[in-house]
Amino acid sequence: MNKINLAEKLSLFQDHWNPRIVGELNGQHVKLVKFKGEFVWHKHDHEDELFYVVQGSFNMEFQDKTVALSEGEFLIVPRGVEHRPVAEKEVSVMLFEPCTTLNTGDTKGELTKESLETI
């Protein structure tokens, strides 16, 4: 049982769209990631995802609306819902999702991360 300092962990990497695992519980990963720019449209057929904004802000785009998220806020994207995170400026986000969750869901491409680093 070790405590995790989010600022310390976030200082260990600078790249975008490359989640790192910082914890695991009950078949769920706790991940940290930095966003900047537009991600790919995708969905997860079997997993819900929670996006918690640690620092900064971003928009979560859906086919029918956009949800703006700021520091200290979170959003749960239900399984099967197509979405795309977009950040004008760098944002730091904590994710809670099942260990089986692929970052790009059903849309594999250059941003897909098949295996994640634990920090």
Structure tokens at 43: 């969905």
Structure tokens at 63: 């086919």
Over residues 25-80, the pLDDT tens digits come to 999 999 999 999 999 999 999 999 999 999 999 999 999 999 999 999 999 999 99
Calculate mean pLDDT across residues 73-101: 96
44 CB contacts (<8 Å, ≥6 apart)?
Answer: 77, 79, 80, 97, 101, 102, 105, 106
% of the chain residues with pLDDT over 90: 83
Structure tokens at 46: 């079997």
Kindly list the structural domains of the chain, giving each domain's residue range(s) and its CATH number in brackets, ordered by start: 6-98 (2.60.120.10)
Q: Residue 16 above 90 pLDDT?
A: yes
Q: Residue 117 above 90 pLDDT?
A: no
Pairing status of strand 49-55 against strand 28-38: unpaired
CA 5 to chain CA centroid, nearest Å: 18
DSSP-H helix ranges across 25-77: none
Sign, CA dihedral 93-16-30-48, equals positive
- Higher local confidence (pLDDT), 40 or 108: 40
For position 107, what pLDDT does the model report? 85
Q: What is the DSSP letter of 82?
A: -
Q: Residue 102 above 90 pLDDT?
A: no
Q: Which residues pair with 9 in a beta bridge?
A: none
